[in-house]
């Protein structure tokens, strides 16, 4: 693994040359971490012949056509880079077919990036993180149209996804293990919470629906539909007053920042190991 911080991207060629003088196996490096980098040109990915993990984060990336990524790449993290739709659309054309994890959180992506991604999802993708962008309902609809069936972990935190987006996800999501919808605008009425009715949630083990402010009625509708095998649930900040009928297998439960009427009356799951009740009254 090679970790380079505060490095101008255009200097990577020179750095690689110097490293090769002392490390003959550098061309066989399988992981590269670049943070706080900046530059006007992209690194020469082709020189990292066996690269499997690439983390290029908190950087100012050049807004031009991206050279083809390493064909063996499994893990790609491009979070916190202020990337725009056009750059992601270019990159999506060259996603390695074996990519398993894609992290594009904390950029400036909208529905246009989602449309490009949905057309070029790697067939074996297992984890997708698009948290803290500007997807809104349109982005959720575009993504839900073509999710790869292999996807197991989906993070869409803080994207202003509402009723239309949730309804699209309820139809289009594959059989996820992790679903993160923290801090969106999920519907308040229980009847509009179509995500709770999705048969695809049967394999879910972790759900984060915190700070959506949807109220006790919608929270209860969600609880009644969740699989009994769910292990981790976050319902903080949702104006819940007296939720009941929690999944029996729950190990962790976050009910903080709610308006619980009687904490002592909560019927908690028997296997619960962690419970957060901060600021609940």
Structure token digits, residue 163:
């009723």
Q: Using pLDDT thresholds of 50, 70 and 90, give the confidence band for residue 8.
A: low
Closest CA to 43 of 10, 7, 85: 10
Q: Using pLDDT thresholds of 50, 70 and 90, give the confidence band for residue 6.
A: low
With H, G, I as helix, E, B as strand and everything else as coil, classify residue 175.
coil
CB within 8 Å of 191: residues ≥ 6 apart: 221
Please tell me the distance from the alpha carbon of residue 55 to that of residue 76, in angstroms, as a whole number: 6
More reliable by pLDDT, 188 or 183: 183
Please tell me the distance from the alpha carbon of residue 213 to that of residue 90, in angstroms, as a whole number: 37
158 neighbors 182 (Cβ within 8 angstroms): yes
When pLDDT is averaged across residues 257-273 and rounded to a whole number, the result is 92
Q: Using pLDDT thresholds of 50, 70 and 90, give the confidence band for residue 23.
A: very low
222 neighbors 198 (Cβ within 8 angstroms): no
Please tell me the distance from the alpha carbon of residue 162 to that of residue 164, in angstroms, as a whole number: 6
Model pLDDT, residue 25: 46
Q: Using pLDDT thresholds of 50, 70 and 90, give the confidence band for residue 32.
A: confident
Q: Using pLDDT thresholds of 50, 70 and 90, give the confidence band for residue 226.
A: confident
When pLDDT is averaged across residues 58-79 and rounded to a whole number, the result is 85
Computed over every residue of the chain, the mean pLDDT equals: 86
Residue 249, CA distances (Å) to 207, 228, 233, 245, 255 in order: 13, 6, 11, 11, 17
CA dihedral sign, ordered 245, 226, 241, 250: positive
Q: Using pLDDT thresholds of 50, 70 and 90, give the confidence band for residue 24.
A: very low
């Amino acid at each position: 693994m090679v970790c380079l911080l505060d490095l101008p991207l255009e200097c990577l060629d020179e750095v690689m040359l110097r490293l090769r003088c002392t490390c003959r196996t550098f061309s066989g490096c399988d992981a590269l971490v670049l943070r706080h980098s900046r530059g006007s040109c992209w690194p020469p990915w082709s020189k990292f012949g066996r690269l499997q993990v690439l983390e290029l984060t908190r950087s100012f990336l050049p807004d031009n056509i991206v050279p083809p990524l390493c064909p063996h790449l499994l893990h790609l993290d491009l979070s916190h880079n202020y990337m725009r739709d056009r750059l992601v659309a270019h990159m999506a054309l060259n996603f390695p077919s074996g990519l398993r994890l894609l992290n594009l959180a904390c950029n400036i992506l909208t529905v246009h990036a989602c449309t490009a991604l949905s057309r070029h999802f790697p067939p074996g993708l297992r984890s997708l993180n698009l948290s803290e962008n500007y997807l809104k309902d349109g982005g959720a609809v575009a993504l839900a149209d073509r999710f790869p069936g292999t996807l197991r972990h989906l993070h869409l935190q803080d994207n202003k996804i509402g009723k239309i987006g949730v309804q699209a996800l309820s139809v289009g999501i594959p059989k996820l293990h992790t679903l993160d919808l923290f801090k969106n605008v999920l519907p308040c009425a229980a009847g509009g919470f179509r995500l709770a009715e999705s048969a695809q949630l049967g394999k879910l083990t972790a759900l984060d629906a915190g700070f959506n402010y949807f109220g006790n009625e919608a929270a209860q509708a969600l609880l009644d539909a969740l699989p009994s095998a769910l292990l981790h649930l976050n319902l903080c900040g949702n104006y819940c007053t007296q939720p009941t009928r929690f999944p029996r297998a729950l190990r962790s439960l976050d009910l903080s920042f709610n308006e619980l009427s009687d904490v002592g009356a909560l019927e908690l799951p028997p296997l619960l190991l962690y419970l957060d009740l901060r600021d609940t009254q």
